[in-house]
Each structure stands twice: as C-alpha cells, then as structure tokens.
C-alpha cells in the first residue's frame, strides 16, 4: 500500500475538500483524485462521500489504520534517521511472503531510503535459512518461524491454517475441516533438505505425533508446483489463510482447518547483520506489522 496515497487520503479526510487537500500536498487535483480512486480500489470500498466531501463508515475505520501506519513509519524513520544505508538491499520472498504486509514494508523502505537499490529474490520452500546464510539475500519473508541461532526472526503475521485440495474431491465440498480430517491426505513431497520447521508446518507433524505423512507422487518447492499437483488430483497442500487471496487456481479449493494452531509468517535476517539498511527494514516491518489491519 503506497504511503503517498495514505497521505492523500488523510489530507482529504482532514480538509473535507479535494482542492484544498491537493494544494496542501502540492499535487494537482487530478493526481490527488487518482490517488484516492486507486486507494479505494485497493481497499475494495468507497472511502468518501462526494458533494459534500465526507468520510464513509469504511473511510472512518480506514482513517484510524492510515494514521497509525503513517505514525509508525515516521517513528521508525526517526529511530534510524542519522545512520547511512547500504547501496543494495536484497529481499527474499517465499511464496506471497507476509501477504499484503510484504509490499507495504518494501514500499515504505523504498520511500524512506530512495537511494538504496532493492533486489527482490523469490525463495523456494527449501530456502528459509540457506539464502540468508549464503548472503544471497539480506532479509527474507518466510514461514513459519526459523529456529537457528544464526538467524534473527521478527514475527509479522499470525494466520489460520488451510489445506488446498482438489475442487472435485470430497473434502473440496467442505466449508471447514478439522486436523483429523486432513492427516491422511497425500501431501505433495518437498526435498529431503527442506528445513524441518517448514516440513513440520506443512504436514501438521505435531498433530500426527511426529509420524511422516502420506506422500503424493509429485514434488514441489513453490506454490505453483503445489497447485499444479492439486489441480490434477494428485496431492494436497497446506498454507496460511492469506494463500487463498493470492492463488486462484482452477480445480483447487482452500478449506480452513478450524482446530489447527495458527501459524506465523516472519521476517528473517542474519543475527550478526548490523547494517543500517537491514536495521531500517526490520524496524519498518515490525512497526507496520503492529499497526497493520488483519485484512487491508
């Protein structure tokens, strides 16, 4: 979510007039209107009544979040304002990362440190720690939490668990499932060198008493590979609730597992990395996470 659009939104909310808000922000009226229209599309609701200008009920609720987000960013910037940042920051993202929070943090860093070159690196299920320890990336949006003294972890989101099953299967007709319903699913197979925290998360290992799952015939290291197997009726996958918002795949259904413990997505960094850019990115991520709505 672009912080400039949040600033435009708050200016209109406070001025109750598009023209005065545009002048206050040194924007053209058309640019300000475009900001508001884009924000309303992102949020999925009208934020203002027009003629006269006033906040809608959705706009009133959103204004509280917008103010908190901008205040949080300003606090984070004040905390590290006097430290130089490095020229390049390499950001690893596994799957869809921490959902809508991922682009919000990246955009906040981009605006806070425009001189820093950002490089985005997609990560597979096997790269919770290896990409960081090999210095391929400097920060990584992964799930679940990593247990490694060489890795620092900041918890960003906490979400309900789901399973991804073929739409034409019996479980595909369910509106909700329990852990006991999914333990015998033929889960897609990940490589043997996949970090244990991820396999335990993927296969509900604690619920099955440490026993290995029934494995499907296909291997996968990315969400797309999982969905290809599921849509063909050859396997199942598991994920966080936000997965459903990001991956609309024909022939697959995401069903919540209502009694499964909720899981985290995290920002992982090298524990000994004290670079100002990493510190700023972590500060922005944790500060935004504390104020970010569950579903923007």
pLDDT, position 145: 87
User: Mean pLDDT throughout 84-100?
Assistant: 87
Pair 185, 255: CB distance under 8 Å:
no
User: Mean pLDDT throughout 114-132?
Assistant: 92
pLDDT, position 165: 97
Write down the pTM of the prediction: 0.74
pLDDT, position 82: 56
Helix (H, G, I), strand (E, B) or coil at 248: coil
Burial class of residue 175, CB neighbours in 10 A (0-12, 13-18, 19+): exposed
CA–CA dist 4, 38 (Å, integer): 11
- Residue 85, pLDDT above cutoff 60: no
Q: pLDDT tens-digit profile of 234-284?
A: 999 999 999 999 998 999 999 999 999 999 999 999 999 999 999 999 999
Pair 65, 293: CB distance under 8 Å:
yes
Handedness of CA 166, 169, 170, 174 (dihedral sign): positive
User: Mean pLDDT throughout 71-97?
Assistant: 77
Q: Which of 267, 289, 283 is nearest to 83 (CA)?
A: 283
Higher pLDDT, 284 or 210: 284
Taking each helix axis as running N to C, give the angle between helix 276-291 and helix 101-112, from 0 to 180 degrees, rounded to the nearest 10: 130
Helix (H, G, I), strand (E, B) or coil at 243: helix
Q: pLDDT tens-digit profile of 29-44?
A: 888 888 888 888 888 8
pLDDT, position 79: 67
Among the residues of 80-195, which ranges form H helices? 101-112, 130-133, 179-182
Write the Ramachandran bin of 92: left for phi over 0, alpha for psi from -120 to 50, otherwise beta.
beta
**What are the distances in angstroms from CA 285 to CA 21, 106, 268?**
29, 9, 11
CA–CA dist 170, 167 (Å, integer): 8
CA–CA dist 268, 248 (Å, integer): 27
Domains (ranges, CATH) in the chain? 3-79 (1.10.10.10), 88-158+264-291 (3.40.190.10), 161-260 (3.40.190.10)
Taking each helix axis as running N to C, give the angle between helix 57-79 and helix 276-291, from 0 to 180 degrees, rounded to the nearest 10: 150
Beta strands in the chain (DSSP E): 48-49, 54-55, 88-94, 117-123, 139-142, 151-159, 161-166, 187-189, 215-219, 237-240, 252-256, 263-270
> Hey, which residues does 157 pair with through a beta bridge?
265
User: Mean pLDDT throughout 3-12?
Assistant: 84
Higher pLDDT, 235 or 68: 235
User: Mean pLDDT throughout 200-228?
Assistant: 92
Q: Which of 87, 89, 98, 94 is nearest to 119 (CA)?
A: 89
């Amino acid at each position: 979510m672009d912080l400039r659009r949040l600033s435009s939104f708050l200016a209109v909310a406070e001025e109750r007039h598009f023209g005065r808000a545009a002048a206050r922000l040194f924007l053209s009226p058309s640019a300000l209107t475009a900001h508001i229209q884009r924000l309303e599309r992102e949020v999925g609701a009208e934020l203002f009544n027009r003629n006269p200008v006033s906040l809608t009920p959705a706009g009133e609720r959103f204004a509280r979040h917008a103010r908190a987000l901008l205040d949080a960013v300003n606090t984070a910037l004040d905390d590290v304002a006097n430290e130089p940042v490095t020229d390049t920051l390499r950001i690893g993202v596994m799957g869809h990362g921490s959902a809508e929070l991922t682009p919000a943090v990246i955009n906040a860093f981009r605006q806070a440190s425009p001189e820093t070159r950002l490089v985005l690196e997609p990560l597979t299920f096997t790269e919770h720690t290896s990409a960081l320890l090999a210095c391929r990336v400097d920060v990584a949006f992964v799930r679940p939490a990593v247990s490694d003294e060489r890795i620092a972890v900041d918890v960003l989101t906490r979400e309900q668990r789901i399973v991804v099953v073929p739409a034409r299967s019996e479980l595909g007709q369910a509106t909700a499932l329990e852990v006991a319903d999914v333990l015998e699913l033929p889960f897609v197979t990940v490589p043997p060198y996949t970090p244990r925290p991820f396999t335990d998360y993927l296969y509900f290992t604690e619920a099955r008493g440490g026993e290995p799952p029934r494995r499907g015939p296909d291997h996968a290291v990315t969400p797309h590979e999982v969905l290809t197997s599921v849509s063909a009726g050859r396997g199942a996958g598991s994920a966080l609730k936000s997965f459903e918002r990001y991956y609309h795949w024909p022939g697959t259904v995401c069903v919540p597992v209502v009694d499964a413990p909720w899981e985290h997505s995290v920002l992982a960094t090298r524990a000994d990395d004290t670079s100002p850019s990493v510190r700023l990115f972590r500060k922005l991520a944790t500060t935004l996470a504390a104020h970010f709505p569950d579903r923007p």
